[in-house]
Amino acid sequence: MDKNSLLDLTHNFNKRNIEVKFFETLDSVKSYILELIPLNSTVGIGHSTTLEKISLTSSLIEKGYTVYDKELSKDKIEGTSIKKKALTSDWYITGSNAISIDGRIVNVDHSGNRVSAISFGPDKVIIVVGKNKIVDTLENAIKRVKNISCPLNAKRAGYNPPCVELNKCVDCTSKERVCNILSIVEGQIDKNRISLFIVNEESGF
Ligand code: SF4
């Protein structure tokens, strides 16, 4: 991505009250997050292969934070309870399926917990994305989430909607549908409640 595009992206998010920071590596993002969040905070985690890659949850727990990550649950009931607690955590950290240079954050969700927390609840939200998630427009962000993120995420999670075989969205109503909620964040009331941490590496779907 060229320098002018990144400047445009930053400008377009900043005018929508969303902060943007750039990092060279995932490890540097992790170190920054572990220094940034005050120690007595509660931290919710929205599922993200990027965050899993850097073992963020276990590092937060080791440092003494109270962490709500459904991946720590032993069954579905406990998982739902953890997802609810994460909705009112002080901080929420997750990834995103696509961000656009024109200033939008686009996600699809199976149950809706992640997009809910991004929208409202936690005081601060950090969204970590690899450079492969950047597209130019909202339209292309939606195309990306439906045709790239959904099939790959469905496969990872063991679901089998039609896009897994077809590698494209056919707007299914399958019981295996993984994109029940489509969320577009176009701005924030509270300045810098959401921070986008963009990493100069390819990561996640
Ligand atoms: S609507 Fe169905 S086919 Fe389209 S992305 Fe979602 S799960 Fe896949």
Residue nearest to atom 7 of ligand 1 (CA): 177
Query: pLDDT tens digit string along 114-129?
Result: 999 999 999 999 999 9
Pocket test for ligand 1, best of 147, 173, 177 (most atoms within 8 A of CB): 177
The reply to whether ligand 1 has any atom less than 6 angstroms from the CB of 53 is no
pLDDT tens column, 69-99: 999 999 999 999 999 999 999 999 999 999 9
Say if ligand 1 is within 6 A of residue 163 CB. Answer: yes
Handedness of CA 110, 114, 119, 121 (dihedral sign): positive
pLDDT at 23: 97
C-alpha 186 to ligand 1 mean position (Å): 23
User: Across the chain, what does the average pLDDT equal?
Assistant: 97
Judge whether 118 and 184 are in contact, CB under 8 Å.
no
pLDDT confidence band for 169 (50 / 70 / 90): very high
pLDDT at 1 over 90: no
Q: How much of the chain exceeds pLDDT 90, in percent?
A: 98
Per-residue pLDDT tens over the stretch 11-47: 999 999 999 999 999 999 999 999 999 999 999 999 9
A 10 A CB-CB count for 138 gives 17
pTM for the full model? 0.96
Could you tell me the distance, in angstroms and rounded to a whole number, from the CA of residue 105 to the centre of ligand 1? 19
188, 196 Cβ separation under 8 angstroms: no
SS3 10: helix
37, 43 in Cβ contact below 8 A? Answer: yes
